[in-house]
Amino acid sequence: METLTEIASIIARHISKDGFHATGMERLTLARSSTVTVPMPHVYRPQLCLVAQGKKEVALGEHVFRYTPGRYGIVTYDLPATGRVIEATPASPYLCLFLDFDPVMLAELALRVPVPPGTPFQPTGKTVSDAGSGLLDAALRLLRLLDDPAALPVLGPLAEQEILYRLLAGPDGARMRYITSSQGRVAQVGRAIAWIGQHFRERFSIAGLAAEVGMSASSLHEHFRAVTAMTPLQFQKQLRLQDARSLMLVEDIDIATAAFRVGYESASQFSREYRRLFGEPPARDIARLRASPVVAVGA
């Protein structure tokens, strides 16, 4: 497809090194990886990810989402997931773009764009779909502006609005509206996700969290799992383990200190759960990560 080829060409022209790269547009990031990568957990924020070249997989709970060129993914809540590039070479690197959602712009558009008829209820906070020509054309118009810095501040928001319009008017329109909703069960789950994100190092009870967001414990459990593919406690555990992994990797602290800092009372329990999630004991996993290629995965 010519449009996708040009999208990949622009991304490749603007980033020659592996990793994530900011652009002249605040919410637009480009990514590149010239090699396959190890699975890397990350907290994915609400955004669009469009793959132009290469392939990757993202695991959320028991769900595995596969990206190929021309497929896009959206995330509607802050979600802990694990991603890895599965196809990339120096001659044909993995290339993609990320666009963080502007909630104000999205809310204004949602009021003006009707929900497509027959759109099913879609609670899961992440999905991957094939990009239609309208979305690809809008993404290409946005990327072309990177070669025209004078026009970017003026025309960039218009191109961004068109991308959001294509998402709202397409099969993921109902899911996109959850980002702007302040009512209903999914919105309550969103508040529970945000609360856990702020307090994951602390102990909490399901009953207490349910009361915090105005739900019954059983309803919270059911709807939380539908959105995140995890229970609230599994969600907390993933955040704790990802945080500890980052602390050990970046701050070079020992296993016990990392465990206690993120809320574990037992270093041995931490090590067991760490191995269950990441596949290796903490020390071996951190050593492997330090020797691995730069990870450029994202949503």
CATH classification of the domain holding 147:
2.60.120.10
Q: What pLDDT sits at residue 299?
A: 55
The reply to whether 6 and 151 lie within a common domain is yes
The reply to whether 255 and 227 lie within a common domain is no
The reply to whether 92 and 26 lie within a common domain is yes
Residue at 298 is within a domain: no
Residue at 297 is within a domain: no
Q: What pLDDT sits at residue 119?
A: 58
The reply to whether 105 and 71 lie within a common domain is yes
DSSP 86-98: EE--SSS-EEEEE
Q: What pLDDT sits at residue 182?
A: 60
The reply to whether 105 and 133 lie within a common domain is yes
The reply to whether 111 and 208 lie within a common domain is no
Q: What pLDDT sits at residue 173?
A: 84
The reply to whether 57 and 142 lie within a common domain is yes
Q: What pLDDT sits at residue 59?
A: 87
The reply to whether 146 and 225 lie within a common domain is no
Tell which of 158, 177, 196 closes a domain. 177
Residue at 227: amino acid letter = V
Digit-coded pLDDT (tens) for 12-29: 999 989 999 999 998 999
Q: What pLDDT sits at residue 178?
A: 74
Residue at 60 is within a domain: yes
Whole-number Å distance between alpha carbons of 152 and 145: 5
Provide the pairing of β-strand 71-75 with 79-87. unpaired
Written as six digits, the tokens of 21 are: 């790269």
The reply to whether 50 and 103 lie within a common domain is yes
Residue at 200 is within a domain: yes
Q: What pLDDT sits at residue 160?
A: 95
Digit-coded pLDDT (tens) for 214-266: 999 999 988 888 888 889 999 999 999 989 998 998 888 999 999 999 999 99
Write out residues in the chain with pLDDT < 50, as ranges: none
Tell which of 177, 197, 225 closes a domain. 177
Q: Which residues pair with 33 in a beta bridge?
A: 94
Residue at 124 is within a domain: yes
The reply to whether 71 and 142 lie within a common domain is yes
Whole-number Å distance between alpha carbons of 140 and 247: 38
Total count of domains within the chain: 3
CATH classification of the domain holding 286:
1.10.10.60
The reply to whether 149 and 277 lie within a common domain is no
Residue at 246 is within a domain: yes
Domain that holds residue 278: 239-291
The reply to whether 200 and 243 lie within a common domain is no
Whole-number Å distance between alpha carbons of 244 and 2: 44
Residue at 209: amino acid letter = L
Residue at 285 is within a domain: yes
Whole-number Å distance between alpha carbons of 78 and 27: 16
CA nearest 289: which of 245, 235, 255, 231?
Answer: 245
Residue at 280 is within a domain: yes
User: Is this prediction's pTM over 0.85?
Assistant: no
